Structure 1
Amino acid sequence: MIKTVHKYLEESARLFPNKIAVQYNDLHYQETITYQELDGFTNKYSQYIRSLGVFKQQAVAIFMPKKIAAIKAMFSILKSGNVYVPLDVNSPKSRLNAIVESAKIKVIIVNNDSFKLAVKLFSEIKSVRVINIEEEISISDIGTCPPRQAISVDLAYILFTSGSTGTPKGVMIPHKAINDYIEWCVETYQLSSRDNIANHAPLYFDNSTFDIYTAMKVGATLHLVPDSINQMVPSLIPWLEESEISVFFCVPSVLSMLKQTRRVRPGILLNLKQLLCAGEVLAPRVLRTWMQCLPHVRFVNMYGPTEITVDCTYHIFDEIPDEQTKHLPIGKARANMDLFVLTDEGELTQSPGERGELVVRGESVSYGYLANDLQTKSSFIQNPEHDLYPDKLYKTGDVVEIDKDDIFYFIGRKDSQVKYLGHRIELGEIEATIANLEEVSEVVVIFSPQDNSLEDLLGCVIKLKEDGDFEYISHRIRESLPKYMHPNKIILISDELPRTPNGKFDRAKISKFFDN
């Protein structure tokens, strides 16, 4: 039985040695690597990493664009018994240095594309060594070092997410958490070596965990979506077709943007079998369009923060949502996970009709935040139902509601629950309602309290599908929401709303729209 995730690669290399493991197909450049080649390279390079004195669950950074070299680096680090930390090459120097310092990183693996930038960014840190994975290494470079085999409780990766204080938080994920998740994914979605699985998410975003490890687990081919394709949204559909992608996992805004290009129509993506979404709210009207155009595809809405290893709930859609549907379910708990609602009274419940903060328990829950005991103790709590043994629950900070069929619905962020004009309201509920209007393409709601509560900002920024009349849109919003939820400022824009590198709305930038 496989307990550490790099064993997926080793087993697939044994079963499918000459099969393409990873493919990168850019507009001007194509590269492939077989399972045997990938396994052989990472065996050798993992020894090189250990020869540098890095072999005791130390954090090793990956700093390069998403290409095959990055996958090589990832599995080399895992095989060396260490922990990989993917870095965004477009991040500001201050953030990168904060991560390197927090994780006590001594080695940063780069490729030819990122070598010069890495030297420029990290040269001031004397203890850091930058190594280029695309440079040849000799037997003498490898040397001898004590072997170390990772076990299931060891860390596999640390992903850094935004912290409320402005300091990135390092989420620590062990092998056993990934293995628990991937085993479930393969069984639930019936994945096999015949699949072509796209990797759309950046490697520093946890959605990529699904793509990479399901492919390695079953011997499928992993297709890396190049940055050049992501930067030209209309080109994504032809790329998916040319690559004969059968499984595509993305954030819902990708589906929304593709819908806006008017390329979503019957007869496309005939090789696609499954389309999975997670990472943000999926609008019913967006799903409706996709399901109507792609009746041969299974659509799944999943939910989960980085701290529980990608996803803890899922909902497979058997029917197209009707025009009256305002919210889509995030579904039920996946196998080996427990979901609870933490009520305002501090009780854990799974009863229908309850609303409160979602709390998650299971094998895939993270160990906590790297070198941040205060935040870890705040978010990861002992199960209040007993004190017999350590039993960790993760408080997601997300507000959910359980319906009569025990299905969970996402309501909004706990920290986006605000008091406005004496009413407690969910910003997510306002966003979902406005997003469901036929005229609206994208919407973000911003709340900013002022010294005088009568002057509190409850604003929304809306991108319309086509040029629209401000008064008409304002009227449609007033029709759709209770009076106490009406935004007091509305901004209509024609450009795309700003997004973070993960594809989510950049709320900090969007809030500045109201500065003038």
Structure 2
Amino acid sequence: MFTHAQNHAEKLHEFLLAGARLTPEKPAVMEFVDNEVGLLSYRQLERRTESYATVLGELGLDIGDRVLLETDTSPSAIAALLACSCLGLPFVPVSPETPTKRLLSIMESVSPSLYLRAVDSRREGVPEGMGTGRFGPEGLTVERAPAPRTPVRQESTAADPAYMVFTSGTTGRPKGVVMSHRAILSFYRGMLGHGIVAPESRVASTAPFQFDFSLLDIGLALGSGATVVPVPRALLRWPRRFVRFLRETGATQVNGAPSIWRGALRREAEELGALGDQIRGVLFSGEPFPLPEVRRLQELLPHARIVNCFGSTESVAASFTDVPRPVPHGLTQLPIGFAHRGAEMMLLDEENRAITEPGVVGHIHLRSSSLFTGYWGDPEATAKALVPDPLNPLTGQTVFRTGDLGHRGEGGELYFDGRADSQVKIRGNRVELTEVERRVAEFAGVTAASAVLLPVEGTDPVLAVFVTLADGAELDEVELGAFCMEELPDYMAPQQIHVLDEIPVNANGKVDRPALVERMSAQLRS
């Protein structure tokens, strides 16, 4: 049930800080300082937010000025984004793991007035021309004040941007998804209607701060009066440490991509099973969860409600569907179900006609008040994604053409059937293959590049790149990998490189990606 304060909230900070009025002494976020674990109450989170906002308010920034936040998820990171919300400053989250060249590309795109980072950040090479500062448990300090200006806005509104998340882009450059206060609050209200967590829950969040899934976790926990438990990123590489962390922090709900469970299921099953009475919920998103792994997770966590969260950054998510317990042995694919309250997923054919019969594949469109405003600085891409409502074009309403393919089941529920474009998901992160291809093609000697995601039974898919070389050129795979990592996040770095005489194309003259996948599959079979 929503609280009275949340129902009347119009801005992100008003919604997420409702607990400071209702349950001020209750833990809001778990904090880790110098290897010590502590709990920050809702009142303390509000006070930290207010102290940050006081410092930011003295800088003369205007409503709509962008603030870049480089940090992992933490109480201070949450306070920083809430302080930005208080002042009408859209925040742009980035990870400390973001390559510097990629960070500079984002900076060039959004022209932030202020760049804030955690006190322990070691980032170097930040350009001049913008304000800088650091934040942490002791407060927010400004290192270099932003250029003085005369504010022109008087009042922030619910329609103003709350934040901007950068994802992989089709042009080969990161693409900024702009979300308003009204849209993100609409999503939160629709999500909370599913009753996924309760006020006594402790929600373990594994997503990087720059990934919109982290904002989902924050909204799910704080919007429910529960506690956010940020999982240190380094622990995800060590299954035993990850499971031990869940036990020691008392996590009751664990959210993340399916891949976070793979190591524990294989190597720490006994330790994971010992948490069977503790963990009551698992929410996954970003990629399909292999059914054998889902079944095994259900065996080890017999009381956990497992929820399949489906959607895109452009609306954070579109649906929350309970995984049946037990998963029927005849089932070959988990459904993505129906849209959350206040939204509708429509299935349309190539002529934009509604598909209602089961089994027919079509394009998924989302009708929702939680849709993004547009892609930052890219009206052409925005117009391709936010299209006039195909079923009621005269209303002027726009819907989101997701780029996802799906079909209906016998009960009208939807199933996901892949992408209609070159977008894939890698460890829960959205990746445009064209961006990987652009970077590889910039390497000396490479004349063409095509990237594909190769399925591998029993483990994560492999990002492979096929290249052609100039006459006489030789390829050093180690050097190419290092070249890619200068600009691309680690999950976008090719894991396999294959040299071809020529890259196959289809009848339309486009790269034939299925043929590349089949070629590799045939080699593996032989």
TM-score, length-scaled by structure 1: 0.78
Q: Which amino acid aligns with 1:72?
A: A
In 1, the alpha carbon distance for the partners of 2:459 and 2:393 equals 49
Contact 2:206 2:233 in 1 (8 A): no
Instruction: Name the SS for the 1:90 alignment partner.
Output: coil
Residue number in structure 2 paired with 1:242? 248
The one of 369, 375, 378 equivalent to 1:369 is: 375
Residues 347, 511 of structure 1: alpha-carbon distance in 2 compared, 3 angstrom cutoff: farther
Residue number in structure 2 paired with 1:127? 129
> Equivalent pairs: percent with the same residue?
25
The one of 412, 415, 418 equivalent to 1:409 is: 415
Report the CA distance between 1:170 and its aligned residue.
0.3
Aligned CA RMSD, in angstroms, stands at 3.1
Residues 267, 234 of structure 1: alpha-carbon distance in 2 compared, 3 angstrom cutoff: closer
Residues 313, 100 of structure 1: alpha-carbon distance in 2 compared, 3 angstrom cutoff: same
Report the CA distance between 1:287 and its aligned residue.
0.4
Contact 1:51 1:145 in 2 (8 A): no
Contact 1:237 1:269 in 2 (8 A): no
Q: Which amino acid aligns with 1:61?
A: L
How many correspondences in the alignment?
Answer: 441
Residues 333, 94 of structure 1: alpha-carbon distance in 2 compared, 3 angstrom cutoff: same
Residues 50, 398 of structure 1: alpha-carbon distance in 2 compared, 3 angstrom cutoff: same
Residues 21, 513 of structure 1: alpha-carbon distance in 2 compared, 3 angstrom cutoff: farther
The one of 160, 164, 174 equivalent to 1:168 is: 174
Q: Is 2:48 the counterpart of 1:30? A: no
Residue number in structure 2 paired with 1:75? 82
1:22-421 alignment runs, 5 A limit:
22-25=29-32, 28-114=35-121, 116-117=122-123, 120-122=124-126, 124=127, 126-134=128-136, 150-189=156-195, 191-263=197-269, 266-309=273-316, 311-415=317-421
Residues 443, 151 of structure 1: alpha-carbon distance in 2 compared, 3 angstrom cutoff: same
In 2, the alpha carbon distance for the partners of 1:137 and 1:326 equals 51
Residues 252, 12 of structure 1: alpha-carbon distance in 2 compared, 3 angstrom cutoff: same
Residue number in structure 2 paired with 1:510? 495
Structure 1, residues 449-488: CA drift from partner, whole Å, max 9, x if none?
999xxxxxxxxxxxxxxxxxxxxxxxxxxxxxxxxxxxxx
Q: Which amino acid aligns with 1:363?
A: S
Residue number in structure 2 paired with 1:471? none
Contact 1:9 1:216 in 2 (8 A): yes
In 2, the alpha carbon distance for the partners of 1:351 and 1:5 equals 40
Structure 1, residues 260-283: CA drift from partner, whole Å, max 9, x if none?
223265432422111111111111
Residues 256, 515 of structure 1: alpha-carbon distance in 2 compared, 3 angstrom cutoff: farther
Residues 98, 273 of structure 1: alpha-carbon distance in 2 compared, 3 angstrom cutoff: same
Q: Which amino acid aligns with 1:243?
A: T
Residues 507, 356 of structure 1: alpha-carbon distance in 2 compared, 3 angstrom cutoff: farther
Contact 1:302 1:313 in 2 (8 A): yes
Residue number in structure 2 paired with 1:4? 11
Contact 2:309 2:319 in 1 (8 A): yes
Instruction: Name the SS for the 1:400 alignment partner.
Output: strand
In 1, the alpha carbon distance for the partners of 2:262 and 2:376 equals 35
Residues 63, 443 of structure 1: alpha-carbon distance in 2 compared, 3 angstrom cutoff: closer
Residues 267, 230 of structure 1: alpha-carbon distance in 2 compared, 3 angstrom cutoff: closer
In 2, the alpha carbon distance for the partners of 1:292 and 1:93 equals 43
1:478-493 alignment runs, 5 A limit:
none
The one of 459, 464, 470 equivalent to 1:441 is: 459
Instruction: Name the SS for the 1:331 alignment partner.
Output: coil
Instruction: Name the SS for the 2:31 alignment partner.
Output: strand
Report the CA distance between 1:132 and its aligned residue.
1.6
Contact 1:42 1:76 in 2 (8 A): yes
In 1, the alpha carbon distance for the partners of 2:191 and 2:125 equals 38
Contact 1:59 1:85 in 2 (8 A): yes
Contact 1:62 1:108 in 2 (8 A): yes
Report the CA distance between 1:127 and its aligned residue.
2.1
In 2, the alpha carbon distance for the partners of 1:152 and 1:131 equals 27
Q: Which amino acid aligns with 1:95?
A: R
Q: Which moved more, 1:53-62 or 1:182-191?
A: 182-191
Report the CA distance between 1:445 and its aligned residue.
7.5
Contact 1:382 1:393 in 2 (8 A): yes
Residues 54, 395 of structure 1: alpha-carbon distance in 2 compared, 3 angstrom cutoff: same
Report the CA distance between 1:175 and its aligned residue.
1.4
Contact 2:307 2:323 in 1 (8 A): yes
Contact 1:65 1:113 in 2 (8 A): no
Residue number in structure 1 paired with 2:472? none
Report the CA distance between 1:133 and its aligned residue.
2.0
Contact 1:4 1:150 in 2 (8 A): no
Contact 1:81 1:148 in 2 (8 A): no
Q: Which moved more, 1:381-390 or 1:399-408?
A: 381-390
In 1, the alpha carbon distance for the partners of 2:243 and 2:202 equals 15
Q: Which amino acid aligns with 2:279?
A: L
Report the CA distance between 1:159 and its aligned residue.
0.2
TM-score, length-scaled by structure 2: 0.77
Structure 1, residues 413-438: CA drift from partner, whole Å, max 9, x if none?
11259xxxxxxxxx99x94xx63xxx
In 2, the alpha carbon distance for the partners of 1:250 and 1:137 equals 30
In 1, the alpha carbon distance for the partners of 2:29 and 2:85 equals 17
Structure 1, residues 394-431: CA drift from partner, whole Å, max 9, x if none?
122121111111111111111259xxxxxxxxx99x94
Contact 1:285 1:323 in 2 (8 A): no
Contact 2:71 2:209 in 1 (8 A): no
In 2, the alpha carbon distance for the partners of 1:145 and 1:90 equals 34
Report the CA distance between 1:348 and its aligned residue.
3.5
Structure 1, residues 18-44: CA drift from partner, whole Å, max 9, x if none?
222111347923343221122122123
Report the CA distance between 1:249 and its aligned residue.
1.1
Report the CA distance between 1:373 and its aligned residue.
0.7
Residues 449, 107 of structure 1: alpha-carbon distance in 2 compared, 3 angstrom cutoff: closer
Q: Which amino acid aligns with 1:111?
A: A
Report the CA distance between 1:147 and its aligned residue.
10
